[in-house]
Amino acid sequence: MFSSILGSAATMSQVAVCFSASLVCGLLCAFTYRYCENTSKNFLTALAVLPAIVMMVILMVNGNLGVGVAVAGSFSLVRFRSLPGRASDIVIIFLAMGLGLCTGMGYVYFALASSVIMCLLYVLITKLPLLSENTAYRSIRITIPEDLEYTEVFADIFNKYTSKAEEHAVRTINLGTMYQVTYDIVLKNTADEKQMIDEIRVRNGNLPVICGRAATAAAEL
């Protein structure tokens, strides 16, 4: 497993084996990511062929310093523009590149074994509830009259229904006649969400109250 199938001069059959292993690793990564995440077909296609592309580059620069510098220079001329992505995108891209590096150096069996192990590990971590996000997090936006003191008016309600409540933002609306206060809260029991909102409506004069899951910031690529 830890020995390279490539000799000093790679034969056509050895290159074909490395290329086939790269495609298998890429397809396995793509299918795994499609199963675990919601992503586009373009990204999955690029993910499937990425190990094969890296493998070809490694085969060309193997043992040739001049060619390696030239390839690095050509890659530095490419400017990548992309939409903000997720941390999981970076992980799966690095995995595909690492597998392509292994197959390009001839470690085919190690690449295949690593792809299976890492993909299974990714599925387990994604699907198990151990590292899942806390569903009790909420962002609540409360509209109140301008004459209502908002700093402590909801304190007893939050102490009753939440384990954590922090004021996030305050702004004036309706030409300054009302305040809109946003809190980040963690519910003690998600089943009590409606009851909490009803008590808040009593305090704010039945003005609008918006409560929803707190948005998570996406990690940029």
Q: What is the pLDDT of residue 67?
A: 56
Cα separation, 189 vs 130, in Å, equals 19
Q: Are 203 and 185 in contact (CB under 8 A)?
A: no
**Model-level pTM greater than 0.85?**
no
Cα separation, 33 vs 36, in Å, equals 5
Q: What is the pLDDT of residue 85?
A: 66
**Residue bearing tokens 């299918």:** 31
Report the candidate in 169, 173, 178, 176 with the shortest Cα–Cα distance to residue 139.
169
Report the candidate in 141, 214, 138 with the shortest Cα–Cα distance to residue 171.
141
Residue 75 has which token pair?
């890659």
Domains in the chain with CATH codes: 12-131 (no CATH), 137-213 (3.30.70.1380)
Cα separation, 125 vs 64, in Å, equals 40
Q: What is the pLDDT of residue 109?
A: 92
pLDDT of the chain, 221 residues: tens digit per residue: 667 777 677 788 888 999 999 999 999 999 999 998 888 899 899 999 999 988 888 887 765 655 556 666 655 555 454 555 677 888 898 899 889 888 988 889 999 999 999 999 999 988 887 766 677 888 999 999 988 888 888 999 999 999 999 998 999 998 888 999 999 999 999 899 999 999 999 999 999 999 988 665 544 44
